[in-house]
A and B are shown apart, each in its own frame.
Chain A
Amino acid sequence: MDSLILSRMQFGANISFHILFPTITIALGWVLLFFKLRYNATNDSAWMRAYFTWVKVFALSFAMGVVSGVTMSFQFGTNWPGYMQHVGNIAGPLLAYEILTAFFLEAAFLGIMLFGFRRVSNRVHTLATVLVAGGTTLSAFWIIALNSWMQTPAGFEMRDGVAHAVDWWAIVFNPSMPYRLVHMLLASGLTVSFLIAGLSALRYLKGDRSESMWKALRTGVFTAAILIPIQILAGDQHGLNTLEHQPQKIAAMEANWNTGPNVPLVLFALPDEAAKENRFEVTIPDGASVILRHSADGVVPGLNDFPGNHPPVFPLFWSFRIMVGTGLLMLAVSWSAAFFLKRRHSLPRPLALLMVPMALSGWLATLAGWYTTEIGRQPWLVTGVLKTADAVGPVAGSHVALTLVIYLLLYVLLLIAYLGVLVHLALKAAKDGDTSPLPGVLNAALSQPAAGE
């Protein structure tokens, strides 16, 4: 195998591993702030217990995100030197602003948020939580701006094969940026709410009926129930935006070969790119036209309009269906759980059992969504500007292969360890419930922080 395909596999592996963790920290920061504000308002220590349980998950996820993010910042140079050489004038400032405005903010106040409850006043501790949550979100803003620019570039001109910025406003707020940002932030919110709901369901199944478990469970379930319909709406709008700016991607997602009206929605198929047709097709007549054009005779683009210039069909078709399918399952599960919690004030055992594996549904949907959008950009690295094949570096394939294998091994082991710790933390919380004193703190002193007040 040559170093292009190996480098793509390696970057794919790294970004897949990396994105799991920001997806958690972006929204978990705000959930922690919610716990903290509830505690400030009610003085109920159960909120603080929920905070302490989940701040550990935040710390671990943040560390995983940092180390895999550092890896990526080096890999731009080791594997894709052509990227910065051609579009560095655009990508550079966006990355620089991410580091300067967001990353330092999170990293510096994380210490206070994690370990500072006894050392600073309650108000400063809350402020640190605000700054960390704001930092993670700001970080997402810059990265999504850059990623969107690579999908739908704007605000630049080419001089001697190098992109030069003309209009920074147009670069940052490029045509697909608002859709992508909203879709990603909601994805993060859903990932975290299902993670919290799922691990709380595990505690529930282990017999934990403590106040902090209920508080976390309700927070997770209700947040998920509210966010999922918004996400479906946002996803639809994002799809229409993609149809406008990257029609070849939509054609591949729908596995539609010929442009025309009355295009059916393909529910199941095995797209065959060599024969330019789908095998074992199951379709709904006019479905794709209705969804994409909101009318049965709406014209939907087909792959045959883009010979040699469209993304691979099979992975796009399937990753998109996995994302949508997971989303529908999330809708069903979160709404039933919300119904039982609201009306019956209990959680049926089968539903709780289903919620435990659903703790990772957000990861599945996010990854599937990222594959759809990122593979959907191929063969371009920056749509219409820079081909992926033209950015790869001169490193020997054998070196890339060797490092790829070790990265994969490392990532698998770390994922196992990470999930193991999540389960361990949930079970430990279930065992302790609300009965044991908070770690290292006299219960009575909790409402009166020791220092600074």
Chain B
Amino acid sequence: MTYDWPTLLPLIFAGLMGLAILIYVILDGFDLGIGILFAAAEDTEQDTMIAAIGPFWDANETWLVLAVGLLLVAFPLAHGVILTALYIPVFVLLVGLILRGVAFDFRAKVPAGRKHRWNRIFFLGSVIASLAQGYMLGVYVLGLDIGPGGMAFGVLVAFCLAAAYAAMGAAWVIYKTEGELQKKAVLWLRTALVLTALGMAAVSLATPFASPRIFAKWFGWPQMLYLSPLPILSALLFLWLWRQTFHLPRPDDRHSLTPFLTLAAIFALGFAGLAWSFYPYVVPDRLTIWQAASATESLAIILAGTVVVLPIIIFYSFYAYRVFGGKATDLTYD
């Protein structure tokens, strides 16, 4: 491989897109998870849970816009192929995101009697969006196979991703609340964790068997050795977090952020595994990142902006999280 711009730029953008997806999955993951957990929470708890995500969700969802945007602008061919193949699940995802996004705002502004309706819509939208994302992931992993096998696997991954989001949501609630709700969230986390582990195991096993190329990438020697930390570390983190849930919440609220960070680490490891499996393809076994990339001069002009702007975005995102740090309090517009 020669390291000139036409080679490097698509690689850089694949990396940036992966980063945007990972950040999205972690950040909007807890928003969506809290929506899913709405079904198990009381009225007043729901208000607290919303207060825990209120100032953040807009910025969190922006990472999806960036991820899809990068797919659109950096890999226009892949964008068309993937999204036309996933036409219906994308539509379902959008309906879910629309319902989730607006219900969030409506529930705080409608007359008191109508709040319940929007709470239900918030739950429904979060569930729909999570399931659709999981389904899309499952179908993508199997190389955009829309046959019965692909669909069945898509459904499996859909439920597991929803569980993973619920786990993220529960972990965020543990971090942002105290008292009864916090204790409840520990129980939620425990349940969701089992399903999440199941899902990650299923995807990890299915991916190599769906594609001989991926199988060769994982189970040849010596790659197996280099790659073994990924599954082993993930499994250890799962077990460790599982044990932690029996001791939470701790006195003085120590380690309340730990479950969230642990889950984020597990997500990152799983994501790295997927990235390794698919590289260098952006549409599995059909289009490589170089075949699907935009013209070099277009990528260069986007990169110039990205290099300047991305650190600023990350900086002010941290600032926004810091401003609303600490336990969630009542959310008012003043």
Contact = CB atoms under 8 A, between A and B. Distances in A.
A81 B309 contact: no
A389 B49 CA distance: 47
Contacts of B74: 92
B30 interface: no
A66 B101 contact: yes
A93 B298 contact: yes
B55 A66 contact: no
Contacts of A69: 65
B298 to A, nearest CB: 4
B62 A103 contact: yes
Residue among B56, B90, B298, B317 with the highest chain A CB neighbour number at 10 A: B298
A170 to B, nearest CB: 14
A421 B298 contact: no
> For the side of the interface on A, what is the size category?
35 or more
A342 interface: no
Contacts of B331: 115
Given A93-B302, A421-B110, A440-B332, A85 B76 contact: yes
Interface stretch (A57-65, A254-262, A282-290, A368-376): A57-65
Contacts of B247: none
Interface residues of B, number: 66
Contacts of A325: none
Interface in B73-128: 73-74, 76-77, 79-84, 86-88, 90-91, 93-95, 97-99, 101-102, 104-106, 109-111
Nearest to B68: A73
Nearest to B301: A93
A395 interface: yes
B332 to A, nearest CB: 4
Interface string A72-86: 011011100110110
A273 B58 CA distance: 47
Contacts of B101: 63, 66-67
A29 B81 CA distance: 38
A112 interface: yes
A267 interface: no
Given A111-B54, A115-B332, A92 B59 contact: no
A180 to B, nearest CB: 22
A391 B171 CA distance: 44
Given A67-B98, A120-B323, A74 B83 contact: yes
State the main secondary structure of chain A at its contact with B: helix
Nearest to B317: A108
Contact of A70 (B65, B70, B305): B65
Interface in A96-125: 96-97, 99-101, 103-112, 114-120
Given A78-B90, A115-B54, A395 B84 contact: yes
Contacts of B333: 52, 55-56, 59, 114-115, 117, 439
Given A63-B104, A406-B95, A104 B73 contact: no
A60 B106 contact: yes
Nearest to B61: A66
A315 interface: no
Contact of A63 (B56, B68, B94, B102): B102
Contacts of B330: 440
A385 interface: no
Residue among A115, A168, A399, A414 with the highest chain B CB neighbour number at 10 A: A115
B313 interface: yes
Contacts of A410: 95, 98-99
A417 B106 contact: yes
Interface in A182-234: none
A55 B74 CA distance: 36
Contacts of A63: 58, 101-102, 104-105
State the main secondary structure of chain B at its contact with A: helix
A67 B80 CA distance: 21
A164 interface: yes
A154 interface: no
B226 interface: no
Contact of B301 (A71, A165, A420): A165
A59 B87 CA distance: 30
B310 interface: yes
A84 B79 contact: yes
Contact of A77 (B79, B294, B313): B79
A107 B105 contact: no
B84 A92 contact: no
A107 B59 contact: yes
A108 B98 contact: no
Nearest to A118: B334
A103 B323 CA distance: 20
Contacts of B297: 89, 164-165
Interface string B33-62: 000000000000000000000111011011
Given A60-B106, A425-B109, A394 B56 contact: no
Interface in B287-311: 294-295, 297-298, 301-302, 305-306, 309-310
A36 B161 CA distance: 43
B90 to A, nearest CB: 5
A440 to B, nearest CB: 4
Interface in A376-406: 393-395, 399, 403, 406
A323 interface: no
A90 B301 CA distance: 10
Contact of B97 (A70, A116, A164): A70
Given A78-B84, A108-B316, A414 B102 contact: yes
Given A88-B73, A108-B313, A119-B323, A165 B58 contact: no
B305 A73 contact: no
B94 A92 contact: no
Contact of A95 (B59, B73, B301, B310): B73
A115 B55 contact: yes
B51 to A, nearest CB: 9
Contacts of A66: 58, 61, 101
24 contacts: A48-B334, A60-B105, A67-B97, A68-B98, A71-B98, A77-B72, A77-B90, A81-B81, A84-B76, A90-B298, A101-B309, A103-B65, A104-B66, A108-B62, A111-B59, A114-B54, A165-B295, A395-B87, A399-B88, A414-B102, A417-B106, A424-B109, A440-B334, A441-B334
Interface of B: 54-56, 58-59, 61-62, 64-66, 68-74, 76-77, 79-84, 86-88, 90-91, 93-95, 97-99, 101-102, 104-106, 109-111, 294-295, 297-298, 301-302, 305-306, 309-310, 313, 316-317, 319-320, 323-324, 330-334
Given A93-B301, A109-B316, 8 more contacts: A48-B334, A52-B333, A70-B94, A84-B72, A85-B77, A108-B319, A111-B323, A417-B110
Closest 6 CB pairs of A and B: A81-B80, A77-B83, A92-B73, A111-B55, A88-B76, A84-B76
